[in-house]
Structure 1
């Protein structure tokens, strides 16, 4: 199961995140999302756990728990949805003006 973790302390590393979730079972991966330009943490990340029961237990126990002085938000990660409906292909682009 893929788990979303929000409101993480900005100084938390991926190994720290992994250690928190390993208390509830085996962690396949732990990733903190960072800004492409600055490399600074965006304050959220994802943990992948193979066992759904362990993952659900971690979600229940850790949601709203205090970590590094912040109350983290933990829930099952949902697939990203397009706000406009439909698929995410194409967009804008150059349009010629008609010649009169």
Structure 2
């Protein structure tokens, strides 16, 4: 079995959990998510400086079917007054924004601006005039 296959399999078994109440313990969360099946690993994300939980984490299950069951049965379930956001940890259009936010929060890839590189306000008129004619017209 090759490494990329193992990595993809692990991704499919992993679940993103968001909107976690800040007053809930890791043990309580583990108990809640073991309702779907046995957990291989569980990780809450904490702020580096304060050490406080950020309100989201990741769970790895033994198999894809259990991870899918977790998403199906625990997404939007109210827990301590908050609806949990549960979805695949990687892939899928629903989680692209979550992945980008996590990458930025963890110091990873920076999201590219659709407006181009930042420009000093004093240089803005010149930068605008350099934009090509075709970029200003929609086709």
Name the TM-score, length of structure 2 as normaliser: 0.56
| Higher RCO (CA 8 Å, separation ≥ 6 residues) | 1
2:54 to 11, 17, 42: 42
Q: Which runs of 4+ in 1 moved over 3 A?
A: 79-82
Partner of 2:120: none
Rg larger for: 2
Please give the secondary structure, in 1, of the residue aligned with 2:23.
Answer: coil
Runs (5+) with no aligned partner, structure 2: 1-12, 92-98, 101-108, 113-139
Partner of 1:77: 89
Higher strand share: 1
Please give the secondary structure, in 2, of the residue aligned with 1:59.
Answer: helix
Name the TM-score, length of structure 1 as normaliser: 0.76
After superposition, the C-alpha distances for 1:50-92 in whole angstroms (9 at most, x for unaligned) are 11111101111110000110001000001756434xxxxxxxx
Q: Report how many residues are paired.
A: 84
Partner of 2:71: 59
Matches within 5 A, 1:21-36: 21-36=33-48
CA shift, 1:13, in A, is: 2.0
CA distance in 2, matches of 1:17, 1:25: 13
CA distance in 2, matches of 1:48, 1:16: 16
Runs (5+) with no aligned partner, structure 1: 85-100
